[in-house]
């Protein structure tokens, strides 16, 4: 009896200490400074917004100091509140990186006489780029070691590696800030020395002209970061010639080289329209021609092989897109003829050209299919992937003269794979399946594809994975993830990091909500503009379905989404906070109305056709009805973890920071509300191969602990 009393006393004392620790850690309370924003609303936390000049100033002004103090206080609070999970967090992090093969390499691809591939090595965070001339048995040549570029840098991103046509020069972009403003550098591969040429404030993308001296690149607007100008640059000179300026602020531009390597395409695009210009790469000073003039609701893209242009287009009400062709010299739309007609039940997403084959990437009932067409006789067949939910897509295929299609494949139980498929013999060769260390066995897991009924009767696909032996009794924790915007589909690909929650008894699920393109173009149209709320209600309906089917229960259900998926998280907790135990909002886009009213913020102007233009009352009222920041209420919210990056160029850090401040001021519960601010990263988080998983470990540990799992 005495022993029992002693044990009780010890446990009670420990409980009191834990409670005292939680109570004694007081959250940061952000100062309220009323500020009238663009539409006469009052924003008490507008003061958190800093300009790029303020962030870059070596001597911070008073406002900058206040903002930095607040963000650092949030990080300190997070560290204190989650201190008890540090051991578990390290264990989860070690598990995640422990599954990754440290000495690893990509599958080589052949282009212009060389095999190209990348390698990772033990102890390094970044890749090394290699090539071999003519044969895989040839001597290895180092193109670029990113680890050397990253020395002394808190952040390092390399983009747009491109070798000149004579194989002697390498162009590549570097970003050491995480604002996605790249500086283009040029390396002489014969002498391993940098050229004097440096081009700043670009997207990092380069296309070489045939003379091996001229490059084309994309410049960015300094303030909005819009990719708006195309230049040509001649190496060894100060010559940067503007060849195209996209003056419409709702459009951005990018470059594309045709499969034939004959043409450079300049693509001007926005949500509802496209316009392509082209010139012959062999004539870099030649005339720039419009392929087909822009027209509202006409989206198209172009490629070229032989003497034929191929066009993926939604012309003539082809909402799911069709493939058409036309001959050189006859680009006007009246000359286009069908290759693959429009179909109401199939979304035509992508295509790859070969001399003797055409490969179409088509989405049918939510799943990607690869259709092989022999161009000589139009015989065709589809690849069979053998699983009920998966992710597949066309991979790197630079050589048109081959019969080999390289494609990627994975599923919730099958690691990422690169497969070569002989389109003539129909033989598959797995070139690489990601090696998952730590005793992973795919046969220990099971995946399913279910259908949840939304409130309006729409059937929404749900993909999920769990360990075999799982029992549907409502007692398991479940993490439900989604995105649901821009027509971007959430595919059921392999996620080795998720094994750390699945192996602890979690179900991992994906809600394929409207706003993506899983079920076709209409699926996207039904989740944007004045139908955007369908995205949020679909997610809540999928969550409720999983509860009803006893895959989980509200006290074990967690939700996660990032960027526009973070907007989704903000909306669902305002609508149905009682449905979730915890929510993870990653770099969340939550201040929708204010951002869409401010044309100086990156991405705003060419996203009005995605979210609506709030300068028009109909869209303003609708957006205000779901904008997470504006809809915060005095009520109980679930446990919430928010992440952001100080240098984020897509969702500015102040959006999640203001949201957290307002939630903390208004919520009526004692649940956790913590924010992680990465002071040296942007939208994509840390740049290192392993370092990026520290935030994943934080996210997973947050929900593991809330689920009552301590190991």
Q: Which of 81-95, 213-227, 649-663, 670-684 has the lowest mean pLDDT?
A: 670-684
CA distance 614 to 622: 9
Please give the average per-residue pLDDT across 406-421, as a whole number: 97
pLDDT digits (tens, 9 = 90+) for 611-646: 999 999 999 999 999 999 999 999 999 999 999 999
Does 440 score more than 70 pLDDT? yes
Does 3 score more than 50 pLDDT? no
Does 179 score more than 90 pLDDT? no
Query: Which of 600, 594, 587 shows the shortest CA–CA distance to 681?
Result: 587
Please give the average per-residue pLDDT across 180-188, as a whole number: 94
Instruction: Tell which wins on pLDDT, 691 or 498.
Output: 498
pLDDT digits (tens, 9 = 90+) for 551-562: 999 999 999 999
pLDDT at 684: 65
Q: How distant, in Å, are the alpha carbons of 368, 626, 644 from that of 379?
A: 20, 49, 51
Instruction: Tell which wins on pLDDT, 290 or 238.
Output: 290
pLDDT at 685: 63
pLDDT digits (tens, 9 = 90+) for 231-276: 999 999 988 999 999 999 889 999 999 999 999 999 999 888 999 9
Query: Which of 372, 396, 375, 373 shows the shortest CA–CA distance to 384?
Result: 372
Spatial contact of 315 and 326, defined as CB atoms under 8 Å apart = no
Buried b (16+ CB within 10 A) or exposed e, 375-403: eeeeeeeebebebebbbbebbbbeebebe
Does 680 score more than 90 pLDDT? no
CA distance 464 to 467: 11
Spatial contact of 173 and 203, defined as CB atoms under 8 Å apart = yes
Residue tagged 């939304």 (tokens): 454
* Residues contacting 65, CB < 8 A, separation 6+: none
CA distance 349 to 370: 10
CA distance 292 to 287: 15
Please give the average per-residue pLDDT across 315-331, as a whole number: 96
Please give the average per-residue pLDDT across 663-688, as a whole number: 86
pLDDT digits (tens, 9 = 90+) for 511-523: 999 999 999 999 9
Which three-class secondary structure state does DSSP give residue 121? Answer: coil
Please give the average per-residue pLDDT across 656-680, as a whole number: 96
CA distance 165 to 184: 17
pLDDT at 641: 98
pLDDT at 603: 67
For the stretch 362-365, contacts whose Cβ atoms lie closer than 8 Å and that sit 24 or more positions apart, written own/partner, are: 363/489, 363/517, 363/518, 363/519, 363/520, 365/519
Cβ count near 439 (within 10 Å): 7
Does 19 score more than 70 pLDDT? no
CA distance 194 to 171: 10
* DSSP H or E segment with residue 263: strand 263-269
Does 22 score more than 70 pLDDT? no
pLDDT at 24: 61
Burial of 697 (0-12, 13-18, 19+ CB in 10 A): buried
Sequence ranges of the domains in the chain: 440-706
pLDDT at 17: 39
Please give the average per-residue pLDDT across 466-495, as a whole number: 96
pTM score above 0.75: yes
Q: How confident is the model at residue 11 (pLDDT cuts 50, 70, 90)?
A: very low
Residues marked as catalytic = 563, 648, 683
Does 116 score more than 60 pLDDT? yes
Q: How confident is the model at residue 598 (pLDDT cuts 50, 70, 90)?
A: confident
* DSSP H or E segment with residue 358: strand 357-364
CA distance 291 to 137: 43
pLDDT at 170: 97
Does 492 score more than 80 pLDDT? yes
Buried b (16+ CB within 10 A) or exposed e, 225-245: bbbbbbbbbbbeeeeeeebbe
CA distance 590 to 685: 18
Q: Which one-letter DSSP state was computed for residue 336?
A: -
pLDDT at 599: 79
Please give the average per-residue pLDDT across 135-155, as a whole number: 94
Task: Give strand ranges (E) for 506-608.
Answer: 507-511, 557-562, 582-586
CB half-sphere exposure, 628, CA atoms < 13 A: 28
Q: Which of 54-58, 65-69, 482-486 has the lowest mean pLDDT?
A: 54-58
Does 16 score more than 90 pLDDT? no
Average pLDDT, the chain: 92
CATH topology of domain 440-706: Rossmann fold (3.40.50)
Please give the average per-residue pLDDT across 75-93, as a whole number: 96
């Amino acid at each position: 009896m005495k022993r029992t009393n002693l044990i009780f006393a010890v446990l009670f004392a420990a409980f009191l200490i834990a409670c005292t620790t939680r109570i004694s850690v007081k959250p940061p309370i952000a100062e309220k400074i009323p500020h009238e924003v663009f539409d006469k609303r009052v924003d008490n936390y507008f003061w958190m917004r800093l300009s790029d000049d303020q962030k870059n100033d070596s001597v911070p002004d008073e406002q900058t100091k206040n903002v930095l103090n607040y963000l650092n206080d949030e990080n300190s609070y997070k560290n204190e509140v989650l201190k008890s999970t540090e051991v578990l967090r390290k264990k989860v992090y070690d598990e995640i990186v422990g599954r990754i093969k440290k000495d690893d390499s990509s599958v080589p691809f052949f282009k212009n006489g060389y095999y190209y591939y990348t390698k990772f090595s033990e102890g390094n965070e970044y890749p090394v780029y290699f090539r071999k001339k003519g044969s895989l048995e040839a001597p290895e040549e180092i193109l670029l070691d990113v680890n050397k570029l990253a020395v002394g840098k808190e952040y390092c991103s390399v983009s747009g590696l491109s070798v000149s046509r004579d194989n002697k020069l390498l162009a590549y972009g570097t970003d050491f800030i995480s604002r996605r403003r790249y500086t283009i550098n040029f390396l002489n591969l014969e002498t391993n020395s940098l050229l004097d040429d440096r081009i700043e404030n670009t997207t990092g993308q380069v296309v070489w002209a045939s003379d091996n001296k001229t490059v084309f690149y994309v410049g960015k607007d300094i303030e909005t970061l819009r990719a708006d100008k195309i230049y040509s640059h001649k190496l060894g000179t100060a010559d940067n010639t503007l060849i195209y300026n996209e003056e419409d602020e709702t459009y951005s531009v990018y470059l594309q080289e045709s499969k034939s390597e004959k043409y450079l395409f300049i693509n001007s695009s926005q949500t509802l329209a496209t316009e392509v210009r082209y010139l012959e790469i062999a004539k870099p000073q030649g005339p720039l021609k419009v392929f087909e003039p822009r027209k509202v609701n006409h989206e198209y893209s172009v490629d070229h092989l032989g003497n034929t242009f191929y066009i993926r287009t939604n012309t003539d009400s082809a909402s799911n897109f069709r493939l058409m062709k036309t001959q050189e010299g006859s680009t006007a739309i009246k000359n286009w003829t069908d290759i693959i007609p429009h179909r109401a039940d199939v979304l035509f997403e992508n295509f790859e050209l070969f001399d003797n084959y055409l490969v179409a990437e088509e989405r049918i009932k939510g799943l990607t299919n690869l259709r092989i067409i022999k161009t000589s006789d139009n015989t065709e067949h589809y690849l069979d992937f053998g699983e009920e939910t998966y992710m597949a897509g066309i991979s790197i295929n630079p050589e048109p003269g081959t019969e080999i299609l390289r494609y990627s494949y994975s599923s919730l139980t099958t690691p990422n794979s690169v497969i070569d498929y002989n389109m003539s013999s129909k033989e598959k060769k797995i070139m690489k399946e990601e090696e998952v260390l730590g005793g992973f066995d795919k046969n220990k897991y099971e995946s399913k594809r279910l259908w949840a009924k939304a409130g309006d009767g729409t059937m929404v696909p749900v993909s999920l994975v769990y360990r075999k032996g799982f029992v549907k009794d409502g007692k398991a924790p479940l993490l439900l993830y989604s995105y649901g915007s821009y027509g971007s589909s959430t595919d059921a690909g392999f996620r080795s990091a998720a094994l750390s929650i699945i192996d602890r008894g979690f179900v991992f699920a994906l809600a394929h909500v409207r706003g993506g393109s899983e079920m076709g173009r209409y699926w996207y149209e039904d989740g944007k503009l004045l139908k955007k709320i369908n995205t949020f209600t679909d997610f809540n309906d999928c969550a409720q379905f999983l509860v009803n089917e006893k895959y989980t229960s509200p006290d074990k259900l967690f939700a996660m989404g990032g960027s526009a998926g973070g907007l989704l998280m903000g909306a669902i907790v305002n609508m149905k906070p009682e449905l979730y135990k915890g929510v993870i909002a990653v770099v969340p886009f939550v201040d929708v109305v204010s951002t869409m009213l401010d044309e100086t913020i990156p991405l705003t102007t060419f996203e009005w056709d995605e979210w609506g233009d709030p300068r028009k009352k109909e869209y303003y009222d609708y957006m205000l009805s779901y904008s997470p920041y504006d809809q915060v209420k005095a009520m109980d919210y679930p446990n919430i973890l928010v992440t952001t990056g100080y240098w984020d160029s897509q969702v500015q850090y102040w959006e999640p920071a203001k949201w957290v401040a307002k939630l903390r001021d208004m919520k009526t519960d004692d649940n956790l509300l913590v924010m992680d601010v990465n002071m040296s990263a942007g939208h994509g988080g840390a740049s290192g191969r392993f370092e990026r998983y520290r935030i994943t470990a934080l996210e997973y540990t947050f929900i593991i602990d809330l689920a009552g799992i301590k190991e």
